[in-house]
A and B are shown apart, each in its own frame.
Chain A
Amino acid sequence: MRAQKRFHDGRRVSPTETGPTPRNAIGRESTRREGVILVGLLTVFSMLTWMALPIALSAPAGASSPAAVDTAPAITQCNPPDFPITAGFQVTCTVTVVNNTTSTGATSSTVTTSACLAAAGVVFPSCPLNSGPITSTTSSTQLVTSVNQCNGIVTGGGSNVFCNVTVTNNVPVGTTAAPVTVDQCIGSAGGGGSTQACAPSGSTTSATVTQCNGSVTGGGTYASETTLGCTVTGDASALPVTVNQCNGTANGGGSAVTCMTTMTNNFVATTTTTTTTTPATTTTAPPSTTTVPSVIPLGAPQTGAGGASRSDDSVWIALGVLALVGAGAAMSVALRRRRVLAARGGFDRHE
């Protein structure tokens, strides 16, 4: 009877089904349970592996690991899970990138990072919560192409986030630089009492700098400081480097976010070496004859407001037409009077 119950618990049996003996049913049920447990264990293992993979991939590139050189093109730090998503923290993270290219096409980069985690209000460089500031300087033969930091952290409220990225591109004279486009401070600092200072404003899709979007939405402010202060300095970048920082960060109430990006280009004059038989000399080409690079703007300039084209031409013409009609009417009256005068022989009688 127990076996029958179990059997009925595990399967739907039609009234006509005879089914196995109770002993066989118990054995098959046990086997099935083991299979389910095995599948469950495999699923949990897969999930753990899946969760661990992005964590491993998002390890700070500029950290102390010697393998950091291999990951130079993308710099990532101060993001979860290395940095907390809870409340009451002081985060100070900086990334300094120096990219170099030569006229021969050789590339190199140097990255200096600093990461500091403390309780809210504890001023940098005191970083007891990560025994920092954790700093590192790494070099690579590759150019850094992206920096990603301070995203989606300390969302629990009452936190301060300070994150800076400085990119310096040393390139040969003649390198064409691209405009630095900006997407920042969109959907941020919308809570009550929030203040915002962002410059320049911009919402360009796939921008060079994407920062401070969807952050500090909890409202309030800390010690009357600006809730959200974000700046981008530098109009152009001679090498393609994107910055993504301070997005979806510090969304709890009473938090503040200050993030800055600076892009600088140094156009290095090309040197040519001329060797003659006697004596051997090395000369440098005069820089004045080299082409000065230009950052090519996007689109066409809007240099007109239409005042000359849409001046009150139509009004003048309308007035002219009115005056023309009036002149016609006056002429018609004058002609009629003259005809009447002629018809009556110079006298007009009224009663």
Chain B
Amino acid sequence: MRFITPPRHRKRQSTRWWVLAGVLLVVAVSCIAVGLHGHRVSPALPHRQEHPASPLAAASTTTAPPVTVVARSTPVTLSIPAIGVAVAVSELGLNPDGTVQVPTDFQEPGWYRLGPSPGQVGSAVILGHVDSYQGPAVFFNLRSLTAGDAVDVTLADGLVAHFVVTSVAMYPKDQFPAQQVYGSHGNSQLQLVTCGGTFDSQTGHYLSNIVVYSSFVTTTPATAQAHL
């Protein structure tokens, strides 16, 4: 038995294969782009020196910050407009082994309550997670802050303490400068701390910490805070 396939039908079959190839090509490009994007957002400092000798030294070239008269007051919210952060703040203490506690909520940073509150003389410290088990957390974009960015902390007494970023640094965890981060430098500072660098899947931890150093500018009543 013999039958003949019309040329138009045969051409249509060929066209279908071309369409399928095109669709698969688009899908392939999309998938690979998503995958590569995921690698690119690894929380490291993209264009900064990773271990600055002294981030505070850079800040000291500017006018010395004024000595503050802010009374101790618990921080309740943190706002960093440059990276779209406006969140409540919890409180943190120490673990039995003397290490600092970290927030239990990946989207809520915590204030280290055994140091000064934001605006007091000394180094107030707020710690937040860079990511959770599923994806980015509250301080994921902390690394992208630059000198001059604003950091505002609303205190329980109704004041907003305004800070300005002076430097951003990344330190290997075994060289974490605790005294520099938590200790007093004679003025009022706020340090924001999170994890960064390479993630070690063996230990389940990042190998570095990112610290954003900021200096106190002034306080305003909470009602004047527009972006919170």
Contacts and interface: CB of A to CB of B under 8 A. Distances in A.
A320 B35 contact: yes
Contacts of B21: 327-328, 330-331, 334
Interface in B3-45: 3-5, 7, 10-11, 13-15, 17-18, 20-25, 27-36, 38-39, 41-43
B13 A337 contact: yes
Contacts of A348: 4-5, 10
A310 interface: yes
B176 A299 contact: yes
Chain B interface extent, by class: 35 or more
Contacts of A307: 131-137
Contact of B140 (A289, A308, A328): A308
Interface stretch (B82-90, B93-101, B151-159, B160-168): B93-101
B128 A303 contact: yes
A294 B123 contact: yes
Interface of A: 174, 176-182, 200-202, 204, 232, 235-236, 286, 288-317, 319-324, 326-328, 330-331, 333-334, 337-338, 341, 346-351
A323 B7 contact: no
B98 A306 contact: no
Given A202-B97, A291-B186, A296-B178, A317 B17 contact: no
A337 B10 contact: yes
B194 to A, nearest CB: 5
B123 to A, nearest CB: 6
B14 A204 contact: no
Contact of A288 (B1, B35, B69, B129): B69
Contacts of B184: 174, 291-294
A236 B93 CA distance: 10
Interface string B186-215: 100000011110110100111001000000
A301 B17 contact: no
B179 interface: yes
Contacts of A236: 94, 114
A236 B174 CA distance: 23
B216 interface: no
Given A179-B94, A324-B25, A301 B195 contact: yes
B176 A300 contact: yes
Given A297-B178, A300-B176, A334 B24 contact: no
Nearest to B121: A291
Given A291-B121, A299-B176, A323-B25, A309 B17 contact: no
Contact of A321 (B28, B34, B39, B98): B28
A299 B99 contact: yes
Contacts, number: 262
Interface string B105-130: 01000001011110011110101111
A243 to B, nearest CB: 14
B183 interface: yes
A236 B184 CA distance: 17
Contact of A309 (B18, B194, B199): B199
A304 B43 contact: yes
Nearest to A201: B96
B5 A347 contact: yes
A301 B140 contact: no
Given A292-B116, A341-B10, A310 B201 contact: yes
A297 B183 contact: no
A182 to B, nearest CB: 4
7 contacts: A292-B184, A300-B174, A300-B178, A300-B209, A307-B133, A313-B39, A321-B28
B147 interface: no
Nearest to A333: B17
B106 A305 contact: yes
Contacts of A311: 38, 135
A302 B98 contact: no
Contacts of B23: 327
Contacts of A303: 102-103, 127-130, 139, 193-195, 206, 209
Contacts of B179: 296
B27 A309 contact: no
B172 to A, nearest CB: 8
A304 B32 contact: no
B17 A331 contact: yes
B99 A296 contact: no
A182 B21 CA distance: 65
Nearest to A351: B2
Contact of A235 (B20, B114, B140): B114
Given A200-B96, A288-B68, A288-B69, A302 B121 contact: no
A319 B30 CA distance: 10
Contact of B131 (A304, A328, A337, A349): A304
A289 B216 CA distance: 14
A308 B41 contact: yes
Given A292-B184, A326-B24, A330-B20, A309 B43 contact: yes
